[in-house]
């Protein structure tokens, strides 16, 4: 099949949950089909697309995201205008021109979109299969942010939710299939779109990319792989640093939490909290950690690559229900479930003090990934749905 993939960000090299998911999907499709890839990139990424990945695609189009104006009127229009912010951010004349040219010259049989904000590039009519791989269902996230806010902030989150609901309701007929990471995402989107087109396909890994023994675990070293520029990650790190880490360090003074990913000068600070910034190979950082902690209280969806990568590498995970959302895990078998600050601190200290428990979780976690979150098996669900729709359209 000829597939046009339109992505909201550059999926290679992958550096967060969204880019990991999208890179898995488009790379897997390109191995078996002709794929033309069009994606938006940050200005400093224009020349950073790896050649080994570029070679997979019939064509690669990179469109820089323009820096938004920060004057008062522009900010007011972005917040209170008709369209969600991402629709405005991802609207570019050169991308529109490229898609128009691709529709004529490449003549795709399938269009795969990586975010609802990119629906503006999907032509009308039913001559092609149109699918959406939706990494994080936004209305669910807005609801959770609203419920944890007060006053004016709560009102603004509700306004964003309502705007996005209106936006979603206007495009139900656009898509023939929608792939979502978690059952919670499916349930949230089913309030606005036809449920029969929604398919839960959790994230997974190509296990050959995650060999054991990449690094020796360092006792007392914990990791949170994620950027604190993303509000749910920031909240998780701040909560852990302020209320949980001191309880762990009271028993293990050398314990530290290493946070990989982007950060800035406003990032939370505390004794034992270390920011690495983005690293060349996060797998080695995870493998060197004695445990991975995922104390998420906000956010939505099941990207959760920080969890499955840790499990694949044998680094035990301590996580909240939201932290492991989208994954079917068993407490004390392949991860440690904990919700309150005391529970998380106790779970972390148990792993630091009980080598047998750590080994048990390490083995159980790897087996869970092999059995349930093997991407090569999960991808077949996406491909088969697209193939079936394509054959149905031809007939």
Range of 53's domain?
2-204+375-394
**Residues with Cβ within 8 Å of residue 175, at least 6 apart in sequence:** 113, 130, 131, 132, 193, 197
Q: Are residues 340 and 386 in the same domain?
A: no
pLDDT tens-place string over residues 315-343: 999 999 999 988 999 999 999 999 999 99
Q: How confident is the model at residue 272 (pLDDT cuts 50, 70, 90)?
A: very high
Q: Are residues 144 and 275 in the same domain?
A: no
In terms of phi and psi (left: phi > 0; alpha: psi -120 to 50; beta: otherwise), the region of 314 is: left
Within this chain, do residues 110 and 145 fall inside the same structural domain, yes or no? yes
pLDDT band at residue 72, thresholds of 50, 70 and 90?
Answer: low
Residue 159 has pLDDT above 60, yes or no: yes
| Domain match, 175 and 248 both | no
Q: Whole-angstrom Cα distance, residue 58 to residue 71?
A: 40
Residues 107 and 157 in one domain: yes
Q: Domain tally for the chain?
A: 2
Cα angle vertex 134, ends 4, 267, to 5°?
Answer: 115
74 and 24: one domain?
yes
Residue owning tokens 């206007």: 170
Instruction: Please say if the pLDDT value at position 186 is more than 90.
Output: yes
- pTM for the complete prediction? 0.88
Task: Identify whether residues 234 and 270 lie together within a single domain.
Answer: yes
Confidence tier at 73 by pLDDT (50, 70, 90): low
Residues 196 and 148 in one domain: yes
Structure tokens at 141: 């996230």
Same domain for 47 and 118, yes or no, is yes
Contacts of 394 (CB under 8 A, 6+ apart): none
Any residues with CB less than 8 A from the CB of 309 and at least 6 apart, and which? 205, 210, 225, 282, 283, 286
- Secondary element (H or E) of residue 135: none
Predicted confidence band of residue 102 (pLDDT cuts 50, 70, 90)? very high
CA–CA gap between residue 148 and residue 146 (Å, rounded)? 5
Helix (H) or strand (E) holding 90: none
Both structure tokens of 130: 């149109």
pLDDT of 194 reads 94
| High-pLDDT (> 90) share of the chain, % | 77
Distances (CA, A) of 97 to 7, 38, 61, 330: 16, 12, 11, 49
Region 47-71: mean pLDDT is 86
* pLDDT of 75 higher than 80: no
* Percent above pLDDT 70 for the chain: 95
Q: Which distant-in-sequence residues (6+ apart) come within 8 Å of 219 by Cβ?
A: 290, 352
Same domain for 146 and 31 = yes
**Tokens found for residue 39:** 């994606």
Give the tens place of pLDDT for each residue, 354-387. 999 999 999 999 999 999 999 999 999 999 999 9
Same-domain check for residues 330 and 270: yes
pLDDT at 237: 97
For 145, how many CA atoms within 13 A lie in the half-sphere containing its CB?
22
Helix (H, G, I), strand (E, B) or coil at 131: strand
Q: Strands of 256-260's sheet, edge to edge?
A: 273-277, 256-260, 218-225, 289-294, 317-319, 336-337
The enclosing domain of 190 has a CATH number of: 3.40.50.2000
Distances (CA, A) of 176 to 49, 110, 129, 173, 387: 30, 10, 6, 8, 12
Question: Are 47 and 178 part of one and the same domain?
Answer: yes
CA atoms within 13 A on the CB side of 97: 5
């Amino acid at each position: 099949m000829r597939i046009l993939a339109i992505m909201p960000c550059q999926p290679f090299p992958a550096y967060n949950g969204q880019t990991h998911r999208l890179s898995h999907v488009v790379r897997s499709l390109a191995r078996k089909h002709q794929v033309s890839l069009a994606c938006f990139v940050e200005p400093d990424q224009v020349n950073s697309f790896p050649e080994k990945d570029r070679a997979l695609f019939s064509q690669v189009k990179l469109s820089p995201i323009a820096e938004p104006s920060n004057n008062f009127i522009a900010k007011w229009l972005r917040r209170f205008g008709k369209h969600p912010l991402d629709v405005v951010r991802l609207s570019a004349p050169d991308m529109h021109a490229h898609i128009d040219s691709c529709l004529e010259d490449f003549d795709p049989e399938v269009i795969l979109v990586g975010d609802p904000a990119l629906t503006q590039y999907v032509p009308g009519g039913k001559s092609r299969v149109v699918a959406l791989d939706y990494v994080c269902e936004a209305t669910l996230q807005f609801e959770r942010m609203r419920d944890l806010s007060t006053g004016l902030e709560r009102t603004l989150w509700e306004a964003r939710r309502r705007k996005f609901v209106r936006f979603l309701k206007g495009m139900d007929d656009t898509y023939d299939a929608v792939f979502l990471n978690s059952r919670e995402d499916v349930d949230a989107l089913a309030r606005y779109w036809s449920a029969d087109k929604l398919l839960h396909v959790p994230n997974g890994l190509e296990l050959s990319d995650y060999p054991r023994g990449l690094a020796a675990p360092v006792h007392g070293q914990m990791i949170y792989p994620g950027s604190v520029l993303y509000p749910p990650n920031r909240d998780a790190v701040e909560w852990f640093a302020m209320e949980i880490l001191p309880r762990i360090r009271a028993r293990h003074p050398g314990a530290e939490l290493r946070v990989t990913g982007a950060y800035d000068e406003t990032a939370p600070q505390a004794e034992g909290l270390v920011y690495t910034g983005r690293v060349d190979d996060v797998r080695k950082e995870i493998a060197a950690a004695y445990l991975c902690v995922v104390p998420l209280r906000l956010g939505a969806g099941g990207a959760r690559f920080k969890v499955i990568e840790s499990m694949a590498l044998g680094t035990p995970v301590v996580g909240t229900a939201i932290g492991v959302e989208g994954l079917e895990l068993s407490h004390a078998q392949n991860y440690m479930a904990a919700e309150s600050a005391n529970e998380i601190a106790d779970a972390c200290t148990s792993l630091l003090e009980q080598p047998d428990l750590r080994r048990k979780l390490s083995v159980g976690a790897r087996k869970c990934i092999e059995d349930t979150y093997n991407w090569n098996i999960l991808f077949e669900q996406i491909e088969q749905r697209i193939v079936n729709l394509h054959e149905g359209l031809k007939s």
